[in-house]
Amino acid sequence: MNHRLTQFSHGAGCGCKIAPDQLEKILSNSGNSSVFPDLLVGNSTKDDAAVYRLGDQGIVSTTDFFTPIVDDAFDFGEIAAVNALSDIYAMGGEPMMAIAILGWPIDKLPVETAGEVVRGARAACERAGIPLAGGHSIDLGEPIFGLAATGRVPLDSVKMNSGAQAGDMLYLSKPLGIGLITTAQKKGLSKPGDLKIAMESMKKLNRIGSELSRIKAVNALTDVTGFGLAGHLLELCEASGLSAELVFDRLPVFEWARGYSDLGCAPGGTARNLRSYGRQLHFKDAFERMLLADPQTSGGLLISVAPEGMSEVERTLTEANCPHTPIGRMKSSENKNPGVWPG
C-alpha cells in the first residue's frame, strides 16, 4: 500500500519550523559560547552552521530535519538530506559525512517505508560524495527526517551572514515558490508537471557555495529555507548592521507560483513568518509579501557580493545552471532598524 506521507504531518518540510520571533524567545536565555575561542561561528548571528577552528581549517557542524515535504518516501529522504547539507555549503564548506535523524510513527506507517526514506537520503549523500555513516531513531507521533552533517572549510573561505557590506549586490540561486506547491500537494491541487519541477529544484545540491566562497568579493552567504527569502535576508541585514532593497520583478520565481497563490495555497508558515517580521518588510502588494515570506525547503543560496565581483559570480552561477540576475542590493540601515524595501 502506498502512503501519502504529507497526510501524516501537520506541516510540510521547512514550513514546520518554529517562527523566528518564537525561536528568539527560546534562545534568549540559553547563554552563549563566547568562552570558546576556537568556535569561530556560533549562534550569535543566527548563521547556517557552527564552525570550529582545527589547525588551518574550520570544521563545520549542522543539523536539519523536518516533516514530509512530498508524499514519496524516497523523495522525502533525498530532499531532507540535500536540505541539511545546504548549511555546509552556505558556510563555504564541503561536507565530509552525515548521520541520520529519524522519527517514525511505528503504529501508523510501515518500517519498510522508513527504510525508503533512509535510502533516499543515502542517495543524496552519495551524490555529495560523502557517507551516511549512522544515525538515531525514535518512535514518534508523526514522521520526521533529517541529518546531522559535518564538513570542512579553509579558514580564509568561511562565509558568514555578518559579512555583507553596503553597496553589495544580491543574488538568489534557486526560484521561489516551494511552499506554495507543497501546500497545493497536501490539498490535492498540484499539477504533476509543476511538482516535478519543484522537486528537481529541492534535490539540487547547493555545492556552488563552495565555489562562491573562493571568490574574494563574496562578502556573505546564507541559504533560504523556512523563514522565507525575507526572513533570511533580514538575518543577514541584522548580522551585518544593514538594510536591503529588492527588485521584485528580478526575483527568480516558479512560473506557477501566482496561480497556486490564487488558489489559496499559502502555507501556515507564511503567516507565522509575516507575524514575526512583517513590520520590517516594506512591501505593500499582498502577493509580493506572501512570496517573500513563503517557506522554502532546500531553497537557494542568497549571495551578497561587492560590485567588482559581479561578473565572476554571474559566470559561476551561469555555469551551474542557476539564476544569475542581481535581485537587489545592501544599503545602510535607516535609523539603525534593518528592513527590506522595494528597490
Helix (H, G, I), strand (E, B) or coil at 153: strand
DSSP H or E stretch at residue 57? strand 57-66
Query: Distance of alpha carbon 254 from its chain centroid, rounded?
Result: 17
Where residue 2 falls (left for φ over 0; alpha for ψ -120 to 50; beta otherwise) is beta
Of 167, 159, 197, the closest CA to residue 180 belongs to: 197
Q: DSSP readout, 26-37?
A: HHHTS---TT-T
3-state secondary structure of 214: coil
> Would you call 43 helix, strand, or coil by DSSP?
coil
**Residues near 210 by Cβ (< 8 Å), separated by ≥ 6?**
89, 92, 93, 94
| Nearest residue to 294 (alpha-carbon basis) of 274, 264, 322 | 274
**Is 14 one of the catalytic residues?**
yes
The one catalytic residue in 14, 125, 265, 322 is 14
**Rg, the chain, Cα only:** 19
Residues 6+ apart with CB under 8 A from 307: 167, 168, 169
Residue 15 grid cell: 514550513
Residues with catalytic function: 14
